[in-house]
Amino acid sequence: MNGIFERTDCAAVATFDVVANKWSSLVVYALAQGARRNGELRALIPTISQKVLTETLRRLERDGLVSRTDTKCHPPKVAYQLTALGGDAQQLLSDICRWGKAHLPEVSQARRTFDEQWPDGPRFKSVEWTPSAARPLVEA
């Protein structure tokens, strides 16, 4: 018998596969204000490599969240923009960001409390969030 997270018919698991990875969410946010070219996306997301950006854009295009427009001129000009489905996904990500702004200070405190109780215990690698570091590409 398969567990819930191994099921392919679980909508939550399928949804997370589409939008809830680091690079996809950042690209969706970068495209939330309109069409952008590859170089603009790289400037907005400086930590992404060209290879990963290309893979992420192709995956988002395959999933129907992003459309690619090639002007077929010389030199080639390719722009990417969110589809209606991508706009819906951006709303979902905005809701997650609002939750984070409201609750991540509590999560940080819970982590500190846990770590104090288990000083020799396992260390978990996680992204530490501070309000001063929270600079979204697009305001939620």
Percent of the chain residues past pLDDT 70, beyond the cut: 82
Q: What is the pLDDT at residue 1? A: 47
Is the per-residue pLDDT at 132 higher than 60?
no
Q: Which residue has the higher pLDDT, 22 or 66?
A: 66
- For the domain spanning 4-133, the CATH number is 1.10.10.10
pTM, entire model: 0.76
Q: What is the pLDDT at residue 111? A: 87
Pair of tokens at residue 137: 């590409």
Nearest Cα to Cα of residue 82 among 63, 67, 62 = 67
**CA distance linking residue 14 with residue 11, whole number of Å:** 5
> Using 50, 70 and 90 to split pLDDT, how confident is the model at 138?
very low
The DSSP bridge partners found for residue 36 are 80
Domain ranges, ordered by start, for the chain: 4-133
